[in-house]
Amino acid sequence: MQQRLAIARATLHRPEILLLDEPFSGLDLEAAELLTQWMKTFVTSGKTVVMATHDLEQGLSGVNRWVFLERGKIEEELTGDYAIVRERYKQFLRERKGELS
């Protein structure tokens, strides 16, 4: 309920840009689906959502531009198909894992 309230408060004044940090955290399936649909409508109306998330599946739904960050720096920017971005993200993680070995 706290997460739902936080999202409601963030959207109450109808901002042009919405900054969300792990917005799906603590939401049940129904609330997560409602949030996804709401974000799609928000973006369709010409507004912007900037979201930080570790939940790849939720994070990629309804998004049209992705930015991979590492240590606060943009490592890669992508646009396009969900499947392509998902595979590139997996590759990105494998590359980073290899650098740590």
Residues marked active site are found at 22
β-bridge pairing 73-78 and 66-70:
antiparallel
Nearest alpha-carbon partner for 86 in 72, 66, 69:
66
Structure tokens belonging to residue 55: 């939940």
Number of residues assigned to the chain: 101
Question: Beta strands 48-52 and 17-21: pairing type?
Answer: parallel
